[in-house]
A and B are shown apart, each in its own frame.
Chain A
């Protein structure tokens, strides 16, 4: 896949989706093309605001706060959208309860 390839990142609950290249974090791509779908916090893997669970698809992650995503949660597909980069189309659900 070349760098310009856009993957489709879809919210399971609403069916809404945005497109994201492998160079972009899910959160940055969401902010630019479909703002509001995932809540935005620090964008640095620290605060946990943009926590989601990826149900289908491949991705890589950069370092995330252990206080927000434990090793066990990581195995279950939980990620902070600001630290996750797609390697295929993704299906996700929000992991942070609306306040």
Chain B
């Protein structure tokens, strides 16, 4: 049952060299740089996103994800969910409005996998970048690089997947859309959850360490755009992980690569959709190769072990 959580709204990533990171996210992925703040953070967004920013880069001496934020429909919904998070037993902290430029109060909580998440209801809505709100044209001509449309989802690695699923489904109103299950033990080794019609807004893979980051994903319009992204990765000698290929899970068409601090990026297009009455799509763990890389049907070890 949906409880007012609308969509992934932002992610704050740690980077070790800001100039190199901005080249990656702004000039290669094609995000729009929208702001910088006194603590050295850089704010960006995909051009189709209405809110002021969706990606925040923070200078740090190790890479990884600080937190991922979800936008909720109203302050009332946010406060209701805050109480339910406390009742669930999550560590919860209120971050005051303005700590991120143009963003209202945020409710930050720690999931059982050790990852930090946030809920917020208010962020300045500056509109799509480069097109008018009335009689809008199809796209702005000034876009750079891969022309990423929006920040779409994250894949995280952590230990207590069952606790995280309980929290996100029963407290926050997400739905389990797809899963990978070990048929012998019954253990769920990966879970894809949605608060929308998308096949996933957030996913986890089971892993012994807490709070590990696998990738942040950005949406492209077509398979041609994914191939064009692959061309740009070669043109600029960027660190390729794998692709272009298709996933079995969610069936998206994809390519993976790394930012200059080692955080993995994905750009993808297509993929399945989900409604609240749809049954969970299950992949057997012994088909994990095909589930992740539908064409090769073999898992590259890097996909499972290289994390920040």
List residues of A whose CB falls within 8 A of some B CB.
Answer: 40-47, 49, 63-68, 99
Contact = CB atoms under 8 A, between A and B. Distances in A.
Interface residues of B, number: 19
A47 B308 contact: yes
A44 B259 contact: yes
A45 B17 CA distance: 11
A63 B302 CA distance: 22
A66 B262 CA distance: 13
B interface SS class:
loop
Interface of B: 16-17, 61-64, 239, 258-264, 302, 305-308
A67 B63 CA distance: 9
Contacts of B263: 42, 44, 46
A49 B306 CA distance: 7
Contacts of B307: 47
Contacts of B239: 42-44
Given A65-B63, A66-B62, A67-B62, A42 B17 contact: no
A84 to B, nearest CB: 15
A interface SS class:
loop
A67 B64 CA distance: 10
B264 A65 contact: no
A43 B261 CA distance: 8
B261 A46 contact: yes
A42 B265 CA distance: 11
The 10 closest A-B pairs by CB, nearest first: A46-B262, A42-B262, A44-B262, A43-B239, A46-B63, A67-B62, A41-B306, A65-B62, A42-B258, A66-B61
Given A42-B258, A44-B260, A47-B262, A65 B306 contact: no
A47 B306 CA distance: 6
Nearest to B239: A43
Given A65-B262, A66-B62, A68-B62, A42 B16 contact: no
